[in-house]
Structure 1
Amino acid sequence: MKAVVVEAFGPADQLAVVERPDPEPRHGQVVIAVEAAGVGLVDILQRRGEFGFSEPGFIPGVEVAGRVQKVGEGVDRGLIGQRVFAQGSGGYAEQFVADAAGLVALPDPLSARNAVALGVNALVAHFSLRRAQVRPGEHVLVRGASGGIGLLAVKMALQLGATVTAVTRSTAADRLAELGIQNIVRRDRETEPAGPFDAVIDPVGGAAVPALLGRLAPNGRYVLNGGAAGFPPPEFGMALVQTFFNSLTFSTFSLNSVPAGEAGAAARAIFADAVRGALVPVVGPVFRLTEAAKAHLALEGGDAFGKIVLEP
């Protein structure tokens, strides 16, 4: 099979297309013929050597959609030929090994491309909003609103009946407005919004976190679910202490902390919402598997709108 590997930690040109032996499933596993693979920040961080693998030579990619091609011992052979969404490692390849217990069946109307455009990002947005306990009528700030997680967090918060302020770059603002998002802050032209906000959903992080904590309303909740701009400064906790009497809450969220069964149930509900039109996936640029380096450059450049997808 064709696969993309990280030859050495560093820039996007360290991604190389290679031939690897076709994988065989072990007990409890399946092999999926990949139709679409998601490209996300975690892939960038792993390629740079900042997260996950300790040595180069691995295949990046944590989510795919496709058809089950082979099953290992202990797995129902009836799964062969079924369309599924799966998480794991090694998604930038023509074939992907996954645990059968974590598979999520895809509804017939949902394409593989749309499945990964939702996938991990929709799950992170869903659980982040749940952790923030967003309620109807509350004011929610979403950073990185043109990216995969941010865009879906905006849509889901609106569905919950919240008033949403979306922070994004100027080049993406018009596209957000076309989706019905009215409160938009252009980060390269305007200062950060003053608030107060009942909740902040933040896939960006970085140096702005302390100031944004100061814009939370009493009993406000801040959920950091990504680090596109890096970690907050070490002293960011002082912003919480200095507003002690407002009883603010700061939490981090990683999808890795969610039990597989709970994540699977949430994914099935998300895919069902997409089929009935309640949640519309936004697919960004689509690249061939052999163009993985271009896909990474597009994500790092910050110009992509929606989810970047690789297709073998």
Structure 2
Amino acid sequence: MFAIRQYEFGPAENLRFEEVPDPEPASGQVRITVAAAGVHLVDTTIRKGGFGPVDFPMTPGREVAGVVTALGDGVEAEWLGRRVVAHLGQANGGYAELAVAGVSSLHGLPDDVSFEVAVAMIGTGRTVVGVLDVAKLTKDDVVLVTSAAGGMGALFVQEARNVGAQVIGLASGEKLDLVMDNGADAAIDYTRDGWADGLKDMTVVLDGVGGEAGAQALRTLGPGGRQIIYGWASGTSTPISTEALFTNSLTATVALGPGLMRRGLRVLEDEAMAGLASGRFVPLVNPPFALKDAAAAHEALESRATAGKVVLRP
């Protein structure tokens, strides 16, 4: 099979498209013929060495969807030939034509759900559900969503509308139209100087960008407002002082890390996939990249040139 291989930490060009032996499923595992593999900012951080040591050479990729084509010992025969999606864990072989996954990680897929849409929900969707557990949006909220054209941001905009809240999305350039088409009440170009001028009395900021954009977003909150932090795509976290929080009785909460684990990742995945089936969530998917172009996919994601979930197609 062909797969992406990485031999050392570093830039996207370290991702190499190579022919490697087919993986064999161990006991309790299945082999999936991959139809779509998810790309996440976490993948780029792992590539650069930001999440600690890994065993090289490695095949990155944590999210896959496809068809089960081989079974390990102890796996029920009914899984053979099924359409599935799975989260593989940290840096665990998804950027490939074939991948192995534990049977306990599998979610069966109906025929009317595309592999690209499924892979957009299994990891990104479970994180969205966890963040929304913290945010607890209501119809009385006025919500500001940073990176509103991203894989997570698009789902946050949808959920705000689902509960009847007002929602404003931050994006740039032509992505503003995508944000409006997704149901936002307004879309603002956060690359424009003074974009936050005139914005006030937000009740919730969903902040996945951090840096100066996150700091400006914090200043739009009205009394009692809350900033829910789920990442810093800008490369730096949002600077927050207790003095800034005291000024308007604000709260700032980090929605990732141990707090995300309270309900269990499988529970969050189940809710995300149920939300997909019910129409609660309709993920925005960037036009897929070919597997061999994984380096270009990483570069596009890091430069914010994509909209929605970034996916590789073998």
TM-score, length of structure 1 as denominator length: 0.90
The answer to whether the 8 Å contact 1:126/1:153 transfers is no
Gaps spanning 5+ residues in structure 2: where? none
Identity of matched residues, %: 36
CA displacement 1:110-156 (0-9 Å, x = unmatched): 01012123332222222212211111131111101111111111112
Could you tell me whether the CA contact under 8 Å between 1:29 and 1:97 is conserved in 2? yes
Equivalent residue in structure 2 for 1:293, among 270, 292, 295: 295
Tell me the CA shift for residue 225 of structure 1: 1.4
- Which stretch of the first structure deviates more once superposed, 81-90 or 120-129? 120-129
Aligned residue number for residue 242 of structure 1:
246
How many residues align? The count is 307
- Look up the match of 2:13: 13
Question: Which residue matches 2:45?
Answer: 45
Deviation readout 1:43-83 (Å, 9 max, x if unpaired): 11111112254454211111111111222233212111111
Q: CA deviation at 1:181?
A: 2.2
Q: Structure 1 residues 83, 152: closer, same or farther in 2, change over 3 A?
A: same
Change (3 A) 1:212 1:170: same
Q: 1:129 to 1:172 in 2, by over 3 A?
A: same
Contact 1:65 / 1:84 at 8 angstroms: preserved in 2?
yes
- Within a 5 Å distance, the mapping from 1:121-200 to structure 2 comes to 121-193=124-196, 194-200=199-205
Match for 2:41: what amino acid?
Answer: L
User: Matches of 2:53 and 2:70 in 1, distance apart?
Assistant: 27
Q: Deviations over 1:203-233 (max 9, x none)?
A: 2122443443343333333221122112326
Which runs of structure 2 are paired with 1:250-261 in the superposition (5 Å)? 250-254=253-257, 257=261, 258-261=263-266
Partner of 1:100: 103
Q: Say whether the 8 Å CA contact 2:166–2:185 is kept in structure 1.
A: no
Deviates more, 1:172-181 or 1:147-156: 172-181
Q: Is the alpha carbon distance of 1:121 and 1:239 closer, same or farther for their aligned partners in structure 2, counting shifts above 3 Å?
A: farther
Q: Which residue of 2 aligns with 1:111?
A: 114
Label 1:291 to 1:126 Cα distance change in 2 as closer, same or farther (>3 A): same
Q: Which runs of 4+ in 1 moved over 4 A?
A: none
Contact 1:164–1:183 (CA under 8 A) maintained in structure 2: yes
Q: Measure the CA separation in 1 of the matches of 2:243 and 2:35.
A: 46
Kindly provide the amino acid, as one letter, of the partner of residue 238 in structure 1. T
Q: Does 1:273 align with 2:278?
A: yes
Q: Is the 8 A contact 1:139 1:162 kept in 2?
A: yes
Alpha-carbon distance between aligned partners in 1 of 2:48 and 2:202, rounded to the nearest angstrom:
34
Cross-structure match for 2:57: 57
Give, in whole Å, the separation in 2 of the partners of 1:90 and 1:53.
16
Q: SS at 1:115's partner residue?
A: helix
* Correspondence for 2:308: 306
Cα deviation, residue 304, structure 1: 1.3
Q: Structure 1 unaligned segments of length 5 or more: list them.
A: none
Cα distance change on mapping 1:10 and 1:261 into 2, 3 Å: closer
CA distance in 2, matches of 1:239, 1:310: 44
Whole-angstrom CA distance in 1 between matches of 2:75 and 2:200: 52
* Corresponding position of 1:29: 29
* Contact 1:221/1:250, CA 8 A, preserved across alignment: yes
Moved more, 107-116 or 199-208: 199-208
Instruction: Kindly indicate whether the alpha-carbon contact (under 8 Å) linking 2:245 and 2:251 is maintained by their aligned counterparts in 1.
Output: no
Using a 3 Å threshold, how does the CA distance of structure 1 residues 260 and 100 change in structure 2: closer, same or farther? farther
Taking only aligned residues, the RMSD between alpha carbons, in angstroms, comes to 2.2
Report the Cα distance in structure 2 between the residues aligned to 1:224 and 1:108, rounded to whole angstroms.
Answer: 35
2:220 to 215, 240, 244: 215
